C-alpha cells in the first residue's frame, strides 16, 4: 500500500521569499515521487520527479525537492517565489509493486502576494 500526505492545504508567501511545500509519503516498495503543478483551468504539469537516482532533484522554474528516506519526506522548495508560481501543487507517489498507479496528495494551494 502507498499513501501521500501534503501537510498544508494552503501556503501564502510574499514575492521574492522562499517557498516550502511539505510532503510525506508511505510506500511498501522503493517509490518514485513526483511533484505536479496545476494552474487555474489547466491540466497538471510535471515539475520534477525522483526515481532512485540523486536524492536532490532539480525541476523546472527553479523548483527542487529532496528525497529523505529516513524522514519519508519529499518537500518542494524554491529560493524565491514569483507571482506566476501561484497555483495548486500535488505530491504524487508510485510504488514499484503496482507499476503505473499513481497516488496523489490532496494538493497545496500556493498564494504569492506582493
Partner 1 sequence: ETGVTQTPRHLVMGMTNKKSLKCEQHLGHNAMYWYKQSAKKPLELMFVYSLEERVENNSVPSRFSPECPNSSHLFLHLHTLQPEDSALYLCASSPEYSSVTDTQYFGPGTRLTVL
Binding site for partner 1 (CB under 8 A): 32, 34, 36, 41-46, 49, 51, 90, 94, 96, 99-107
Nearest approach, Cβ of 43 to partner 1 (angstroms)?
A: 4
CB of 96 to partner 1, least distance (A): 5
How far apart CA 112 and CA 34 sit, in angstroms, is 22
Whose Cβ is closer to partner 1: residue 7's or residue 102's? 102
Q: Which is nearer to partner 1, 24 or 103 (CB)?
A: 103
Q: What is the smallest separation between the CB atom of 32 and partner 1, expressed in angstroms? A: 6
Q: Which is nearer to partner 1, 70 or 100 (CB)?
A: 100
Amino acid at each position: 500500500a502507498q499513501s501521500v500526505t501534503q501537510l498544508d492545504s494552503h501556503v501564502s508567501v510574499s514575492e521574492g521569499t522562499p517557498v516550502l511545500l511539505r510532503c510525506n509519503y508511505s510506500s511498501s516498495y522503493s517509490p518514485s515521487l513526483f511533484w505536479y503543478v496545476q494552474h487555474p483551468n489547466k491540466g497538471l504539469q510535471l515539475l520534477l520527479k525522483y526515481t532512485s537516482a540523486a536524492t536532490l532533484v532539480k525541476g523546472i522554474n527553479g523548483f527542487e525537492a529532496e528525497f529523505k528516506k529516513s524522514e519519508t519526506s519529499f518537500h518542494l522548495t524554491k529560493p524565491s517565489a514569483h507571482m506566476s508560481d501561484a497555483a495548486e501543487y500535488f505530491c504524487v507517489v508510485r510504488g514499484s509493486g503496482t507499476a503505473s498507479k499513481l497516488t496523489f496528495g490532496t494538493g497545496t494551494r500556493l498564494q504569492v502576494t506582493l
